[in-house]
């Protein structure tokens, strides 16, 4: 990725232009949303630190999708985020692809696998009905698109 005649990191302005080009043209629609990964995102693993973002699971330090979202809604949101991410961060894998879908900012994390890029994780960052489970209780994370400016 990048322009053949422009050195990445040459100036902040060059980096900003290259990132803008990536945001406009990059698509990861070829990366599949597998049943295994969808289950990981929705229900999680036996290790409570891995996955599990379904509303009501209550896994500490995890965000949860809105109560009204179904597993099918999450699958569609992940596919939409891969197809048309609004923000892509990372110069090389892992890539973080974000998109606002129905009032929720969804993040998909891509890593290099044996056969190319693979979805490694996905979760809601913020939005209507999104909560993070802190040790002291649930914390609402309302929609905040300024998170992309950090």
Mean pLDDT of 57-69: 97
Up-side HSE of residue 61: CA atoms within 13 Å toward CB?
3
In a domain, 145, yes or no: yes
| Residue-level pLDDT at 125 | 97
pLDDT: which is higher, 9 or 1 = 9
In a domain, 5, yes or no: no
Angle, vertex CA 78, rays to CA 104 and CA 75, nearest 5: 100
| Residue-level pLDDT at 113 | 87
| Residue-level pLDDT at 9 | 47
Q: Is the pTM of this model over 0.95?
A: no
Give the pLDDT confidence of 90-133 residue by residue, as tens digits.
Answer: 878 899 999 999 999 999 999 998 888 899 999 999 999 999 99
In a domain, 51, yes or no: yes
CA 143 to chain centre: 14
Longest dimension (CA), the chain: 52
Q: How many domains does the chain have?
A: 1
Assign 3-class secondary structure to 13-81.
HHHHHHHHHHHHHCCCCCCCCCHHHHHHHHCCCCCCCCCCCCCCCCCCCCEECCCCCCHHHHHHHHHHH
In a domain, 132, yes or no: yes
Give the pLDDT confidence of 3-38 residue by residue, as tens digits.
Answer: 333 344 455 655 555 555 555 557 899 999 999 999
Q: Are 110 and 119 in contact (CB under 8 A)?
A: yes
The answer to which of 60-64, 99-103, 139-143, 144-148 has the lowest mean pLDDT is 144-148
In a domain, 16, yes or no: no
Q: Which structural domain range is residue 61 located in?
A: 29-149
Burial class (CB in 10 A: 0-12, 13-18, 19+), 52: buried
CA 28 to chain centre: 12
């Amino acid at each position: 990725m990048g322009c053949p005649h422009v050195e990445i990191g040459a100036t902040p302005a060059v980096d900003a232009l290259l990132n803008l080009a990536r945001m406009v043209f990059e698509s990861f629609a070829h990366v599949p949303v597998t049943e295994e990964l969808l289950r990981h995102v929705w229900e999680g693993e036996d290790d409570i630190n891995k996955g599990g973002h379904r509303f009501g699971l209550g896994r500490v330090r995890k965000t949860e999708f809105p109560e009204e979202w179904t597993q099918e809604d999450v699958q569609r949101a992940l596919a939409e985020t891969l197809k048309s991410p609004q923000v892509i961060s990372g110069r090389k894998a892992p890539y973080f692809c974000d998109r606002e879908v129905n009032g929720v900012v969804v993040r998909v994390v891509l890593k290099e696998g044996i056969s190319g890029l693979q979805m490694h994780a996905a979760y809601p960052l913020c939005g209507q009905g999104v909560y993070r489970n802190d040790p002291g209780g649930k914390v609402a994370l309302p929609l905040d698109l300024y998170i992309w400016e950090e």
